[in-house]
């Protein structure tokens, strides 16, 4: 093995280890709590981790071992298993990422626009049917690899596990259907859902800025009103309600105690006879709840995953199409590296998005 092949094998081995660690971590952290039922997002994350672990254990590991050995040494029987698992896990992973993107878009819209209303994909029954359908599609496209594979020797006596279809027409038909149904459609759906997430986040940000601007205008208008100018204490109290900074009751006194500032403001209002329609802090826009903030964080992680997803699988798709036009072992190798890079990156992004990227055993 020369230096270049050794470097490639080491890189592949590191990717394999990163994928094993990340996907096992994602699966463990997504397991439901002991006293509560399993949730939709946990089902999706576990399914994604299982799909990727099939790639890690049954595809990446044998491929890495074959790289270090310099030849395919696992026989023709496992060659069929190898090719079967590669397409099975790849298809399931792509569809699961698509479902996760759609789910978090619905959760984000339900939280920000409909006050936390339930969403369609919150049904475990529906999600179970979708995942069963995706595994069925993956299984249908993977079965032919049991029958149309071979271990081929190249000119330099290097053995490799490849697909061997009866004829060129059969191979092209399979590739067109596989790339369309198992790659292009779910990739396009995931990208569309991610774009909708970005649009929703931008609209929510503009709405928050608009509320803050309106509140500022109300504060300025109240401070400049004739009623507040009659009593400077009322104006100072109103300012404190918006700024949160305690003010002195008189120029010669020190800062008021934070714990008693609310009582002082109430006493001042009652003594000065302030009108009852003075703006209160409750009129300020409420801060986002912890649940909404968590959903926004998770939605942003989905967008990050979609970016990696698009780069990896679009490149993978183009390489597969190019390989159909001009067969090349180099293109197949590059495509496999890209697929492996995807499975070892996305679990960490999802773990960060749902705040599970920690070594703490507490859940």
For the stretch 105-156, pLDDT in tens is 888 777 666 666 677 888 889 999 999 999 999 999 999 888 888 887 765 5
**CA 84 to CA 323: how far, in whole Å?**
19
Q: Which helix (H) or strand (E) holds 275?
A: none
**Longest pairwise C-alpha distance within the chain:** 99
User: What HEC string does 218-266 produce?
Assistant: HHHHHHCCHHHHHCHHHHHHHHHHHHCCCCCCCCCCCCCCHHHHHHHHH
| Whether pLDDT at 192 is above 50 | yes
CATH of domain 3-206+293-353: 1.20.1070.10
| Whether pLDDT at 53 is above 90 | yes
The residue ranges of every structural domain in the chain are: 3-206+293-353
pLDDT at 258: 40
Q: Which helix (H) or strand (E) holds 161?
A: strand 159-163
Q: What is the pLDDT of residues 210-262, one digit of tens each?
A: 777 777 877 777 777 655 444 555 445 444 444 444 444 444 444 444 444 43
CA distance readout (Å), 20 to 33, 55, 59, 343: 23, 9, 12, 9
CA distance readout (Å), 306 to 157, 158, 190, 301, 358: 41, 37, 7, 8, 23
Residues of the chain above pLDDT 90, percent: 15
Confidence of residue 171 (pLDDT cuts 50, 70, 90): confident
How far, in whole angstroms, is CA 28 from its chain's centroid? Answer: 17
Q: Are 269 and 278 in contact (CB under 8 A)?
A: yes
pLDDT at 356: 63
| Whether pLDDT at 76 is above 60 | yes
Rounded mean pLDDT of 70-79? 83
Q: What is the pLDDT of residues 258-312, one digit of tens each?
A: 444 434 444 444 444 444 444 444 444 444 455 667 667 766 777 777 777 777 7
**CA 41 to CA 175: how far, in whole Å?**
32
**CA 216 to CA 284: how far, in whole Å?**
9
pLDDT at 268: 43
Q: Which position has the higher pLDDT, 169 or 362?
A: 169
pLDDT at 318: 74
The tokens describing 340, both together, are: 């492996």
**CA 73 to CA 64: how far, in whole Å?**
12
pLDDT at 262: 35
Rounded mean pLDDT of 8-26? 88
Rounded mean pLDDT of 79-84? 90
Enter the DSSP assignment of 184.
Answer: I
Which residues are within 8 A (CB) of 43 and not within 5 positions of it... i.e. 6 or more apart? 124, 127, 128, 131
Place of tokens 């002195």: 248
Q: Are 15 and 347 in contact (CB under 8 A)?
A: no
**CA 87 to CA 74: how far, in whole Å?**
19
pLDDT at 137: 94
Q: Which helix (H) or strand (E) holds 289?
A: none
Rounded mean pLDDT of 22-30? 91
Mean of per-residue pLDDT scores for the chain = 74
Give pTM, 2 decimals: 0.71
- Ramachandran category for residue 204: left, alpha or beta (phi over 0 → left; psi -120 to 50 → alpha): alpha
Burial of 268 (0-12, 13-18, 19+ CB in 10 A): middle
Which SS3 state, helix, strand or coil, does residue 160 take? strand
350-353: which pairs have CB atoms within 8 A and are 24 or more residues apart? Answer: 350/26, 350/45, 350/48, 350/100, 350/301, 350/305, 351/22, 351/25, 351/26, 351/29, 352/301, 353/297, 353/298, 353/299, 353/300, 353/301, 353/302, 353/304, 353/305
């Amino acid at each position: 093995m020369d230096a270049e092949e050794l470097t490639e094998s080491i890189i592949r081995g590191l990717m394999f280890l990163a994928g094993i660690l990340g996907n096992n971590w994602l699966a463990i952290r997504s397991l439901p709590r002991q006293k509560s039922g399993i949730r939709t997002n946990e089902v999706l994350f576990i399914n994604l981790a299982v799909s990727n672990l099939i790639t890690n254990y049954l595809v990446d590991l044998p491929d890495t071992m074959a790289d270090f050995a310099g030849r395919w040494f696992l026989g023709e029987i496992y060659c069929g298993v190898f090719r079967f698992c590669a397409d099975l896990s790849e298809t399931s992973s792509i569809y699961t990422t698509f479902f996760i993107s759609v789910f978090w878009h619905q959760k984000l819209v339900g939280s920000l626009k409909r006050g936390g209303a339930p969403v369609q994909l919150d049904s475990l029954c529906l999600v179970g049917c979708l995942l069963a359908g995706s595994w069925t599609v993956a299984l249908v496209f993977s079965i032919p690899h049991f029958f149309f594979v071979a271990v081929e020797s190249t000119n330099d006596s290097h053995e490799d596990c490849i697909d061997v279809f009866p004829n060129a027409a059969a191979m092209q038909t399979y590739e067109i259907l596989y790339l369309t149904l198992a790659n292009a459609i779910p990739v396009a759906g995931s990208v569309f859902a991610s774009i909708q997430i970005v649009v929703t986040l931008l609209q929510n940000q503009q709405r928050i800025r608009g509320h803050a601007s309106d509140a500022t205008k109300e504060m300025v208008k109240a401070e400049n009103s004739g009623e507040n100018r009659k009593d400077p204490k009322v104006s100072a109290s109103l300012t404190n309600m918006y700024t949160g900074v305690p003010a002195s009751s008189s120029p010669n006194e020190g800062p008021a105690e934070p714990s008693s500032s609310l009582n002082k403001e109430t006493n001042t209002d009652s003594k000065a006879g302030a009108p009852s329609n003075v703006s209160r802090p409750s009129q300020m826009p409420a801060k986002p709840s912890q649940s909404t903030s968590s959903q926004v964080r998770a939605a942003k992680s989905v967008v990050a995953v979609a970016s990696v997803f698009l780069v990896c699988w679009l490149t993978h798709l183009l390489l597969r199409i190019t390989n159909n036009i001009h067969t090349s072992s180099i293109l197949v190798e590059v495509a496999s590296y890209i697929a492996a890079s995807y499975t070892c990156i996305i679990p960490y992004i999802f773990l960060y998005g749902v705040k599970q990227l920690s070594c703490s055993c507490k859940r």
